[in-house]
Structure formats: C-alpha cells, structure tokens
C-alpha cells in the first residue's frame, strides 16, 4: 500500500523501506483539503497523544487498521515489515529510518498489542518526539519486557519522557538507552525514576554525555535502587566528585551483580572510592573499570578492597596507567584473601615483570581456575625487540 503523496521505495530484500524518515532530510508534504486549502503538519508538533483525532473507533483485533490510519494521519509510509511481524514475540526494526513521525505511528497499535515481548528499535533517528511516543505506549502496554532504543538521538526531552514512563511501568525488565545524547540534565530525570522503579533489571546508559553531576545523581539513585542487576555507564564523562559519589552508591547497593564503568575518568580518587565500595559490597560479581586513567597508587588502594571482598569474580582494569606495580598489588591482595571468588583478572595492554609472573605461578595452587590476561612480560618484549 502507498502512503499519501509518497512514492514507494524498496530495500534489497524486497521490503518497503520504513516510513518516517529523518526530519532533516525531507520536507513536509502538503495535502489538498476538501475546500481547496493546504494543510501542513508542522515540524514543531511534539504532541505525544497516541489517540489521534479523526481515527475510526471500530474494533480492530489485529491493530493493522489503526496503524494504517495513523500512517495516513501523520503522512508516513507504512512499514511493511511491521505489518507482517506485528504478532510475533520479538519485533526487530533496527536501522529502518522510521524518524519521529514513523515511530509515533508505530506506537499507536503497540498500545494494545499483546504478542510482542521484545522490541528492538535501535538506530531509527526517532529523536525526542519519537522517544516520547514510545514512552507513552509503554505506560499502557503491560506485555513488552525488553526494549532497545539505542542510537536514536532522544536527547534530554526523550530522557524526560522515558523517566516518566519508568515511574509507571511495572513490566519492563531490560532497557537499552545507549548513544542517545543524554547529558547531566537527563540524569536529573532518570535518577528519581530509578529510585521509584523496582522492576527494571538491566539498564544500558553507555555512549552518552553523562558527566560529574550525573555521577552524583546516579550514585544516590543506585544506592537506593532495589531492582537493577546490571548497569552500564561505559563511554561517558564521569570523573572527579561524580566518580566518587557513584562509587559510594555502588558500595551501598545490595542487588547489582554486573557494573561497567569503562572509558570514563575515575582516576586516583575514583579508584580509592571503588576500593572502599568493594569492602562494603557483598553482592557485586563483575566490575569493569578499564580505561579510566587510574594510576598505580589508585590501583593499590582499589586492591585493598579486594582483600575483604568475597563475591567479585571478574575485574577488568586494563588500558590504565597502573603499570606492573598496580597489577602486582591487585594480584597480591587476592592472594591474601582466603575467601576470594576471583576467576578472571583483565590487565589488557599493561606489561608485567618477572615478579608478577612468579606471584601468579605461586597462586595456581590456591586459585587453580584463576585466568589472568595482560599485555606481556617486560623482559620478553625487550628480547623480542633485540
């Protein structure tokens, strides 16, 4: 079927390319009104009401009719893939260029959809308007448990809508918000939502622009959250006071099992705070702090927490300037902890010396399953160069 005033385009697999498009790449199309007047849907229309006016209120068990009417109302091309898979358990519409209006049209039938449990809308340039429409839909839909909204440029406006949804939704278990241009302003909305929501178990906020203020806000929220099992804040700008507050929050959390803080800027002070968190936390099993500008002293202070920790199984601290002294200090702390549960130590891109390897060899009797990764031995590298 053709959308109004739009020409059908096909993808390599024969599917109609999904409508909506990027607002910056196409102009609004005009439609002749009955009286000969021109009516145009303005770009600034951020109405997220999914009950579109003038839509027929007939019984629609499949949802196809209301979707087609929504597409007609919003002047977007219907997504043929969606029409074919709207009653599957999983719906993956990643990279289909839906755009804000295409996303809003998609959200209309999803409000009453009872089949889809996993929804993937990654990389559709939905922006704040589309994100708000999906958020409104998730307030009503009580079947969808996993949602991927990564790489959609939701921005602070979209984060605000998502936060409002999290305060009401009791079904969602996994939410991916990676790469959405979230800032500290976004954290002001998301933080309180994480305190309220106790159902969400997996949250990905990586590849955003969350900074020091976000670290402080999320640190307080994490300490009070009672639902999250895994959290990713990788590839953000959390450092300084924000890093310390976030680490303190992890120390007080009793539910998180896996935390990814890689590619931030925790530095020495953040590493010290993480060391204290590892002393207090008796639940965390996996921690990634690679590429965080942690110096040797910071690694040694973090290692002090490993002497008392009984639950952590995997620690990734590679790509930090901790040198062989920091690696040795961490390994020594694990050796001195008779209750250590450590299974994997990742010192990627960090060279170690003979003393480190001798210590590692001596620990094989204590922890025979321990796997240690590093960037090679210093003496070996010198011989290779020679």
Per-residue model confidence as pLDDT tens digits over 165-205: 999 999 999 999 999 999 999 999 999 999 999 999 999 99
| Residue 91 maps to a domain | yes
- Region 355-371: what's the mean pLDDT? 93
The pLDDT value recorded for residue 366 is: 87
| Residue 313 maps to a domain | no
pLDDT at 52 over 90: no
Task: Show Cβ contacts of residue 228 under 8 Å, excluding neighbours closer than 6 positions.
Answer: 194, 200, 201, 202, 203, 222, 253, 255, 256
- Region 232-238: what's the mean pLDDT? 98
- 9-36, pLDDT tens digit by residue? 444 444 444 444 444 444 344 444 344 4
- Region 243-255: what's the mean pLDDT? 97
| Residue 259 maps to a domain | no
The pLDDT value recorded for residue 59 is: 57
Q: Output the domain CATH number for residue 154.
A: 3.80.10
* Helices 127-140 and 99-110: angle between axes, nearest 10 degrees: 10
pLDDT band, very low/low/confident/very high, at 365 (cuts 50, 70, 90): confident
pLDDT band, very low/low/confident/very high, at 384 (cuts 50, 70, 90): very low
The tokens for 173 are 């278990």
The pLDDT value recorded for residue 39 is: 39
- 373: Cα separation from own chain's centroid: 27
| Residue 223 maps to a domain | no
pLDDT at 380 over 60: no
| Residue 9 maps to a domain | yes
- Which range of residues forms the domain containing residue 96? 1-181
The pLDDT value recorded for residue 66 is: 94
- 330: Cα separation from own chain's centroid: 29
Q: What is the pTM of this model?
A: 0.84
User: How many domains are there within the chain?
Assistant: 1
Separation between Cα atoms, residue 372 and residue 50, nearest integer Å: 53
10 Å Cβ neighbour count for 318? 21
Separation between Cα atoms, residue 68 and residue 318, nearest integer Å: 52
| Residue 275 maps to a domain | no
Mean pLDDT taken over the chain: 88
pLDDT at 209 over 90: yes
- 130-152, pLDDT tens digit by residue? 999 999 999 999 999 999 999 99
| Higher pLDDT, residue 378 or 108 | 108
| Residue 102 maps to a domain | yes
Handedness of CA 254, 286, 180, 218 (dihedral sign): positive
10 Å Cβ neighbour count for 271? 29
- 296-319, pLDDT tens digit by residue? 999 999 999 999 999 999 999 999
């Amino acid at each position: 079927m053709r959308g109004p005033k739009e020409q059908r385009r096909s993808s390599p697999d024969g599917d109609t390319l999904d409508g909506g498009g990027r607002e910056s790449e196409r102009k609004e199309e005009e439609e002749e009104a009955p009286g000969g007047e021109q009516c145009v849907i303005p770009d600034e229309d951020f109405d997220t009401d999914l009950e579109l006016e003038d839509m027929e209120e007939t019984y629609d068990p499949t949802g196809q009719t209301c979707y087609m009417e929504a597409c007609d109302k919003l002047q977007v091309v219907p997504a043929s893939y969606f029409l074919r898979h709207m009653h599957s358990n999983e719906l993956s519409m990643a990279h289909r260029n839906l755009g804000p209006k295409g996303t809003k049209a998609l959200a209309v039938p999803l409000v009453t959809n009872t089949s889809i449990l996993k929804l993937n809308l990654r990389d559709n340039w939905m922006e704040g308007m589309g994100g708000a429409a999906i958020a409104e839909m998730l307030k009503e839909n009580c079947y969808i448990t996993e949602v991927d909204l990564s790489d959609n440029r939701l921005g602070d406006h979209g984060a605000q809508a998502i936060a409002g949804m999290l305060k009401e939704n009791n079904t969602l278990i996994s939410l991916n918000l990676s790469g959405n241009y979230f800032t500290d302003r976004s954290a002001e909305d998301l933080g309180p939502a994480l305190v309220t929501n106790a159902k969400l178990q997996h949250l990905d906020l990586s590849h955003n622009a969350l900074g020091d203020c976000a670290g402080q806000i999320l640190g307080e929220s994490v300490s009070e959250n009672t639902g999250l099992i895994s959290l990713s804040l990788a590839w953000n700008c959390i450092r300084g006071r924000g890093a310390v507050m976030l680490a303190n929050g992890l120390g007080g959390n009793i539910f998180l099992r896996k935390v990814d803080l890689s590619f931030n800027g925790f530095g020495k002070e953040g590493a010290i705070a993480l060391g204290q968190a590892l002393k207090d936390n008796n639940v965390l099993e996996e921690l990634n702090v690679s590429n965080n500008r942690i110096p040797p002293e910071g690694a040694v202070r973090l290692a002090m927490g490993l002497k008392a920790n009984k639950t952590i199984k995997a620690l990734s601290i590679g790509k930090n300037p901790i040198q062989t002294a920091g690696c040795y200090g961490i390994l020594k702390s694990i050796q001195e902890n008779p209750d250590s549960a450590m299974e994997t130590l990742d010192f990627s891109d960090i060279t170690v010396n003979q003393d480190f390897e001798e210590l590692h060899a001596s620990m094989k009797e204590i922890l025979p399953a321990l796997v240690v990764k590093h960037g090679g031995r210093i003496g070996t590298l010198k011989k290779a160069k020679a």
